[in-house]
């Protein structure tokens, strides 16, 4: 449902949120290693998250990435998805048809619309803090590679 970049973004912000409680900043190298993502790809994702003001960063030898606890409570998963994948997760046909609409619905149009609306609701009401602290010791950061 989400792009690979979006999956890595979600795992990155979870790791940064949890790491920010222990140390002031976490390095790109540590993030990439923890989420099992190529460093250059992770850097691009983090740039997008910084530009979207979802992650804070500092360049240089003592630089790194962080998310304050307060910010993690304000950020919703929908903001992360939007920063990386845009709104496409809420659009399109469940079967991938080009001609699916309210006027010309596919066989699953109504059911998929319900699922898509439920997804939007979940993403808009789940905070990064809630997600990060709902994971036990960050164990699911390496799932689905």
For the segment 126-138, what is each residue's pLDDT rounded down to a tens digit? 999 988 887 655 4
* Number of structural domains the chain divides into: 1
**80 in any annotated domain:** yes
**46 in any annotated domain:** yes
pLDDT tens for 32-68 read 999 999 999 999 999 999 999 999 999 988 889 999 9
**8 in any annotated domain:** yes
Rounded to the nearest 5°, which phi and psi values hold at 51?
A: -60, -35
Identify which of 138, 130, 136 has the alpha carbon closest to the alpha carbon of residue 36: 138
Domain residues for 73? 4-86+126-138
What average pLDDT does the chain have? Answer: 88
In this model, does residue 28 exceed pLDDT 80? yes
The CATH number covering residue 22 comes to: 1.10.10.10
User: Full-prediction pTM beyond 0.75?
Assistant: yes
In this model, does residue 100 exceed pLDDT 60? yes
């Amino acid at each position: 449902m989400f792009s690979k970049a979006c999956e890595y973004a979600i795992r990155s912000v979870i790791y940064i949120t949890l790491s920010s409680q222990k140390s002031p900043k976490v390095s790109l190298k540590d993030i990439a290693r923890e989420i099992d993502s190529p460093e250059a790809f992770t850097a691009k994702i983090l740039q997008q998250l910084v530009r979207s003001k979802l992650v804070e960063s500092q360049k240089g030898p003592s630089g790194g990435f962080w998310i304050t606890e307060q910010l993690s409570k304000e950020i919703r998963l929908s903001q992360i998805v939007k920063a990386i994948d845009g709104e496409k997760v809420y659009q399109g046909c469940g079967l991938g048809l080009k001609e699916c609409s309210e006027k010309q619905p596919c066989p699953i149009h109504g059911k998929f619309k319900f699922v898509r609306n439920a997804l939007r609701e979940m993403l808009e009401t789940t905070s990064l803090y809630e997600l990060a602290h709902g994971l036990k010791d960050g164990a699911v950061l390496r799932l689905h590679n």
